[in-house]
Amino acid sequence: MRRFQFYIMLICLSFLIIVTGCWDRYELNDVSVVSGMALHKGTEGRLQLSVEAINAKQIYEGESEGGTPAIVYGIEGNTVAELVDKLNVGYTRKPIFSHIQTVVIDEELAREGVGEFFQYLERNGEFRNDFKIIVARGVRAEDIISTTYPVQKVPSLKLSVQIDTMEEEWGGEPKVRLTDFIRAITASGRHPVTAAMTIDGDPTKGQHSAHIKKLKPEPIVIVDGIAVFNNDKLVGYLNTEDTRNYLWTQDEIKLTTISVPCDENNFLGIRIKNSSTKIKTSYHDKKPRITVDILLESVLQSSQCAEDLTSIETYEKYQELIDKYIEEQIKGTIQKVQQTYGIDIFGFGNTFHRQHPRKFKELKDHWDDEFAKAEIDVVTSVYIRRAGIRTDGFLDKIEN
């Protein structure tokens, strides 16, 4: 009898577990899904937070009534926590941040430090770790999430797709998320970087009607390299070419295309299909020695030099040109960071720590000084696998 009662009680408890709902559940009609945030220095308060919320009904053509697909609203206060919880001063529904795509930091605020803001995001369980961190270079952060794009109606969604595509097809985005940024601040031997974006055109110009044809394009948000941080403070930028060189040192290049000089005025168009990077470190003559070893597989997509593409000597010559060009480009970027900023954004200190833990213990408190004087060697091995879909070219048959 007791065993029977026990089973009945167990079944009842099982039903209770199944039918239990979420204690913090919200209906979709009662919330606003936030897709982007922008943080500035305030005028009345210490900070200004601008939030972009999706107006879902206007995204789908069948339901759209001609309204705006996203709403941007900003308020000022003294802490991020206060601002996030106070957004209903302007919004009618509760903002939900779990699907946020982009977080944009104003340049002036980034130079003062973003540690307090990122600490709030890390502590708050409502924010995921997959959003893009962007520094607004030379423009207001709010303008970055307010500039619309004809193909993608919600600005932050456009930025997210744009950054992903840039990273996959060319290598111009550092792929740094919240935990990556915080780990770079707290770990020895690395400083953080983030994506940098700006606006090409006048951001004060609104989008025109689709029926009006314009000769001058609308303003557009563009990827503009990476922002370099010393701990949590912005200290400068690297351009888009330097960003790709940085990503080569991180073994993060998937696909990219380079233009390599083959004589004084002509170039080779090379599509990199595979890339693998290994870093070796040592310590000699009171300075670190760092070797960046890169193996590359490529396709010759175009050649402005009229040379015989059926000859193996031509490919050997081109491979040497590509090797030298990439080595000079990557080494130049590393030296630029050494001389201009004097901080290790490449994580060479982390690698040195793994390979020489005892020695790094002596150097970690002044690793940036060690990095600034380090000798860097970049070694590439490029293999051209094919020349597009045709081997024989016609430029060598043209008589000048």
Q: Read off the pLDDT of residues 340-355 as tens digits, 9 standing for 90 and up.
A: 999 999 999 999 999 9
User: CA 315, CA 196: separation in Å to the nearest integer?
Assistant: 37
Residue 105, beta-bridge partner list: 39, 135
214 and 265 in one domain? no
Amino acid 18: pLDDT? 58
Q: Where are the beta strands (DSSP E) in the chain?
A: 31-41, 47-54, 70-77, 94-96, 102-106, 132-136, 193-200, 220-230, 233-238, 256-261, 267-284, 287-303, 375-386
Asked if residue 277 and residue 379 are part of one domain, the reply reads: yes
Q: What is the pLDDT of residue 305?
A: 86
Per-residue model confidence (pLDDT) at position 399: 47
β-bridge pairing 287-303 and 220-230: unpaired
What is the CB-side half-sphere exposure of residue 76 using CA atoms within 13 A? 8
Asked if residue 330 and residue 258 are part of one domain, the reply reads yes
Picking from 200, 222, 238, the residue at the C-terminal end of a domain is 238
For residue 28, pLDDT beyond 80: no
Residue 210: predicted pLDDT: 38
Q: Is residue 279 part of a domain?
A: yes
pLDDT value for 9: 72
> Which residue type, as a one-letter code, is found at position 248?
W
pLDDT digits (tens, 9 = 90+) for 371-383: 999 999 999 999 9
pLDDT category of residue 236 using cuts at 50, 70 and 90:
very high
φ and ψ at 119, to 5 degrees? -65, -40
pTM over 0.95: no
Print the domain residue range for 309.
241-400
Judged by average pLDDT, the poorest of 56-60, 68-72, 172-176, 312-316 is 56-60
Task: Tell me: do 172 and 278 sit in the same domain.
Answer: no
Note whether residue 9 is domain-resident: no
Does the pLDDT value for residue 109 go beyond 80? yes
Least Cα distance to 262 among 225, 307, 222 occurs for: 307
Residues 78 and 216 in one domain: yes
User: Exposed/middle/buried for 229, CB within 10 Å: 0-12, 13-18, 19+?
Assistant: buried
The last residue of one of the domains, among 238, 267, 292, is 238
Q: What pLDDT is attached to residue 55?
A: 74
Q: Average pLDDT in the 206-232 region?
A: 71
Model confidence band, residue 45 (pLDDT cutoffs 50, 70, 90): confident
What average pLDDT does range 142-164 have in this prediction? 89
Residues 43, 142 within the same domain = yes
pLDDT of amino acid 57 = 60
Same domain (yes/no): 225, 92: yes
Contact 175/252 with Cβ under 8 angstroms? yes
Q: What is the pLDDT of residue 397?
A: 55
pLDDT for residue 326 is more than 60: yes
The SS3 of residue 280 is strand
- 88-120 burial code (b ≥16 CB/10 A, e <16): eeebebebbbeebbbbbbbbebbbeebeebbee
- Identify the domain boundary among 238, 259, 274: 238
The verdict on residue 5 lying in a domain is: no
Structure confidence at residue 62 (pLDDT): 53
Q: Is residue 96 situated within a structural domain? A: yes
Question: Which of 29-43, 126-140, 186-200 has the weakest average pLDDT?
Answer: 29-43
| Pair (323, 179) in one structural domain | no
83 pLDDT more than 50? yes
**pLDDT, position 30:** 65
